[in-house]
Amino acid sequence: MIRHFLRDDDLTPAEQSAVLDLAARMKADRFGHRPLAGPRSVAVLFDKQSLRTRFSFDVGIAELGGHPLVVDTQVTHFGRGETLADAGRVLSRYVAAIVLRTHGDDRIAEVADGASVPVVNALTDGFHPCQLLADLLTVREHCGGTVGRTLAYVGDAANNLAHSYLLAGAMAGMHVRVAGPVGFGPDPEVVDRAAKIADGTGGSVRALTDPVAAVAGADVVATDTWTSMGQEDDGLDRITPFLPYQVNAALLGHAAPGAVVLHCLPAHRGEEITDEVLDGPQSVVFDQAENRLHAQKALLTFLLGAAPAAPDAAGP
């Protein structure tokens, strides 16, 4: 069966944990895993801009022994003059997997409908599941694990990061609180789905409007831009209502002592986060950015059915 990764919950909680275990092993032995040797090719397509996702997939596929084909779709026929399903069907004849950053989730779903190889969401309007694998790896590294830890995401709680924190955090057994201004809350369908997942993992989810209530006692404080790609001209005031949600020293002071700060980057310094916090001792954002590489290498390896047996699962 082809395994796509369009949303965080396309993995089970156990599979998410196994991918994170493999990511840690790949990080410790960076050039020791070459499941794409041959090389097998992977298409990495961008309908939107990127720095981290673009480089981490390009480098990661090469480190796995594969051949990355990184393409800005504006220079192709992708989605122009043929259906996205047909494009997915064609690309599947060339490559072992398709990685796509695009706008609506309907677009990546259509590519997956036509594809006969795994399709990976490298950010859509709705979700950023690869980011969350990196974030959870970072939380494991800095908090000793994810189960039972509290993560507060403050800012635009209606965006892709908020939705992925809800789903992936719940899958990892975390207590996830997201807080944004009235009118900038998460999709209720995602909150309900995350709550059901949390019932099975011992985690919990809450959608709030009070940033202090969200951050109080949290082990992890996360934020993201208040203006996501594609929202630049949506006519909404994306500054004034968000000011109470800025991650600054005062807000961070409500978190648990030693709490760590996440930001997927790029950061808009002085808007959603201050220099003092981003460059301060509690910030782990550059480890987080590095972990995109290791997490995505593990994800691709898993989706292609090439994951090596875990060391403690080795047979006689």
Chain position carrying tokens 């019932």? 199
Q: Does the annotation list 143 as a binding residue?
A: no
264 flagged as catalytic: yes
Give, as ranges, the residues between 121 and 140 that touch ligand NVA (CB under 6 A).
123
33 flagged as catalytic: no
Q: Which strands, in side-by-side order, build the sheet including 175-179?
A: 204-208, 175-179, 150-154, 220-223, 260-263
Per-residue interface string for the shown chain with ligand NVA, residues 95-114, x marking contact by CB under 6 A: --------------------
Residue from 213, 205, 204, 211 nearest 226 by CA: 211
- Minimum distance, C-beta of residue 119 to ligand NVA, in the bound complex (Å): 19
- Minimum distance, C-beta of residue 49 to ligand NVA, in the bound complex (Å): 8
Q: From the candidates 47, 135, 219, 224, which is the catalytic residue?
A: 224
3-state secondary structure of 269: strand
8, 9, 219, 224: which one binds ligand NVA (CB under 6 A): 224
Q: Does the annotation list 238 as a binding residue?
A: no
Q: In the structure encoding, which two tokens stand for residue 109, read together?
A: 């779903």
Cα distances (angstroms) measured from residue 104 to each of 88, 108, 183, 210, 264: 16, 7, 20, 29, 20
216, 229, 256, 306: which one binds ligand NVA (CB under 6 A): 229
Binding segment (CB under 6 A) for ligand NVA, from list 33-41, 211-219, 222-230, 279-287: 222-230
187 flagged as catalytic: no
Backbone φ and ψ for 202, nearest 5 degrees, come out as 85, 5
Give, as ranges, the residues between 239 and 268 that touch ligand NVA (CB under 6 A).
264
Residues in touch with ligand CP (CB under 6 A)? 50-53, 123, 131, 264-266
Q: Is 159 in the site for ligand NVA (CB under 6 A)?
A: yes
3-state secondary structure of 120: strand
- Minimum distance, C-beta of residue 153 to ligand NVA, in the bound complex (Å): 11
16, 146, 225, 288: which one binds ligand NVA (CB under 6 A): 225
224 flagged as catalytic: yes
Q: Is 228 in the site for ligand NVA (CB under 6 A)?
A: yes
239/32 Cα distance (integer angstroms): 46
- Minimum distance, C-beta of residue 92 to ligand CP, in the bound complex (Å): 24
- Minimum distance, C-beta of residue 149 to ligand NVA, in the bound complex (Å): 23
Q: Does the annotation list 103 as a binding residue?
A: no
Q: Does the annotation list 296 as a binding residue?
A: no
Query: Which is nearer to ligand NVA, 16 or 164 (by Cβ)?
Result: 164
128 flagged as catalytic: yes
Cα distances (angstroms) measured from residue 141 to each of 48, 52, 135, 260: 30, 20, 10, 11
Q: From its phi and psi, is residue 173 left (phi > 0), alpha (psi between -120 and 50) or beta?
A: left
43/150 Cα distance (integer angstroms): 36
Q: Is 17 in the site for ligand NVA (CB under 6 A)?
A: no
Q: From the candidates 135, 264, 288, 294, which is the catalytic residue?
A: 264
Give which of ligand CP, ligand NVA, none residue 51 binds (C-beta under 5 to 8 Å, depending on kind): ligand CP
Backbone φ and ψ for 266, nearest 5 degrees, come out as -75, 145
C-beta neighbour count of 77 within 10 angstroms:
11
Q: In the structure encoding, which two tokens stand for residue 130, read together?
A: 């690869």
DSSP string, 43-96: EEEESS--SHHHHHHHHHHHHTT-EEEEEEGGGS-TTSSS-HHHHHHHHTTT-S
Rounded CA Rg of the chain: 19
Residue ranges for the binding site?
101, 128-131, 160, 224, 228-229, 264-265, 292
The residues assigned a catalytic role are 101, 128, 131, 224, 264, 292
Q: Residues in the site for ligand NVA, rule: CB under 6 A? A: 123, 159-161, 224-225, 228-229, 264
- Binding-site residues from annotation for carbamoyl phosphate: 101, 128-131, 264-265, 292
